[in-house]
Structure 1
Amino acid sequence: MDSPYFLMALLTIIVICVIFLLRHQRTIIAKTGFICWISLSIYFIIDYIVIQTTTAPYNFLAQPMSDLGVTTCGTDTYVLSSLEICSPYHLLMNWTFTFTGIAIFVGALFLHQFWPDRRETTIATIFLFIFGLSYTIAGIFPADVNFLWHTIPSIPGMIVQVPALILIGLSIRKEMPKLSIWTFICALITTSALILMSLQPFVDFFGLLQRILYGSVYLWMVITAIALWRKKD
């Protein structure tokens, strides 16, 4: 493993350890959780920058986000890809994948205190932790470096957000009805994108659908963090 990717893995482990140490510092972890989820708003800015720097044609409507993190240039750079890929800013993209995943699971754990104390919300938080961790692993292991380690952890990360949002939406529908409706809307969007992605190759918009799949959850997290922060104050 090259040193940048070793640092990504080390950072992830350190963050998980720090989460355990800070678990009782409710004020500190609340502000940290808010900032983590709100910071997800910059993900697609970086995505756009990396796309603009590719030296091989990149079709964001059709190509997966992972192609931007491929470390080598050429065709057949990894299993299931026959397109020409060349992303000079692949390291920036993989760091972004890593930090995005960390921001997701840190926010999920630190903001859990704002949900009703029920088994459903605990399960939802676990699902969101898995959602974030899978994204981090995708950055640590680019598709052309280790396709299995890149792909297998990503599979649950494409699904678990659906039950997570549904469980949270159901749990807060009395205490926070407006936020509950917002949660169900985002759950519907990400579910629709997931279903349409499963229709490949009949629907040739995998890249766009993948961005909607994740982006709808990012948007939910950004707006939810702002709403919870305002409610707290």
Structure 2
Amino acid sequence: MRYEFHAITMLIVALAAVAVIFLLRKSNRLSILIGLLSWIALSAYFIIEAVVIRATTAPYSFMNQPMSDLGVTACGTDTYVLASYAICSPYHWLMNWTFFLTGLAVLMGAVLLYPLWPKVRSAKIASIFIGIFGVSYGISGIIPADIHFYWHTFTALPGMIVQIPAMILISIAIYKKMPRLFWWTMICTTVTSAALFSLFLQPVLTSLPGGLLQRILYASVYIWLTGTAIGLWSRGYDI
């Protein structure tokens, strides 16, 4: 199917999701359940990415190539500015939908689970940052790198950074009331921060595996959100 069809469908789904979030924004058991399931579902990303990588018909390096290459809609070399190598991902549509739905799931959880956090300003700001992370990540699925490289890159940049202050602020909000979740958050914050720092060093230390570091950067957030949702669920929604 053509890129335009998928992009328009994603936008329709996004509008419908925003309407659902608006309707469910007040805390109730249904909204909390949807929020928890949204974050737990993030773990499916790893399975889908493995399927897409397996389907590629041009050599793909998990260690060195960015995740965005799996969503490139055309086969060949020079498909976008930085891709002088061959790319061919027949399941690019599945990867782009996964980027989009992953971002949407993050956003839904950020809004619907906000009532579970302590009523402090740091938790509110952190929830906004998590929502920005989700929006940033979701847009990368709507605009693949070969369709418009600069918009794809520009909109993805916030999602590489905002999760770190979000996790730090959540830690500040919960360190007294939820000590186990506090330490879980601190561990994941350390991992994603180290990955981001290493990516900044890659232009100098070219031997660093950029693809792997990018995956660690994002995977640490998915795993944190999934583990956080499970931890909140185990408390019976009663914070």
Residues 140-183 of structure 1 deviation map (CA, whole Å, 9 limit, x = unaligned): 00000111221111001100000000000111000001100110
3-state SS of paired residue (2:90):
coil
CA offset at residue 104 of structure 1? 0.5
The answer to whether structure 1 residue 211 and structure 2 residue 215 are counterparts is: yes
CA offset at residue 82 of structure 1? 1.0
Give distance in 2, aligned partners of 1:231 and 1:184. 20
CA offset at residue 186 of structure 1? 0.3
Match of 2:137 in 1: 135
Contact 2:99–2:140 under 8 Å retained in 1 = yes
Give distance in 2, aligned partners of 1:29 and 1:48. 31
CA RMSD of aligned residues (A): 1.0
Give distance in 1, aligned partners of 2:84 and 2:196. 23
TM-score, normalising length from structure 1? Answer: 0.97
Match of 1:76 in 2: 78
Moved over 6 A (4+): none
3-state SS of paired residue (1:2):
helix
3-state SS of paired residue (1:167):
helix
Structure 1's unaligned 5+ residue stretches are none
Contact 2:27–2:115 under 8 Å retained in 1 = no
Give distance in 1, aligned partners of 2:65 and 2:15. 30
Give distance in 2, aligned partners of 1:27 and 1:215. 28
Give distance in 2, aligned partners of 1:169 and 1:34. 19
Aligned match for 1:196, one of 176, 195, 198: 198
Match of 1:4 in 2: 6
The one-letter code matched in structure 1 to 2:35 is: G
Give distance in 2, aligned partners of 1:199 and 1:150. 22
Structure 2's unaligned 5+ residue stretches are none
TM-score, normalising length from structure 2? Answer: 0.95
CA offset at residue 79 of structure 1? 1.2
Give distance in 1, aligned partners of 2:14 and 2:103. 9
CA offset at residue 9 of structure 1? 1.5
How many residue pairs are counted as aligned between the two chains? 233
Match of 2:233 in 1: 229
Match of 2:100 in 1: 98
User: In percent, how many aligned pairs have the same letter?
Assistant: 54
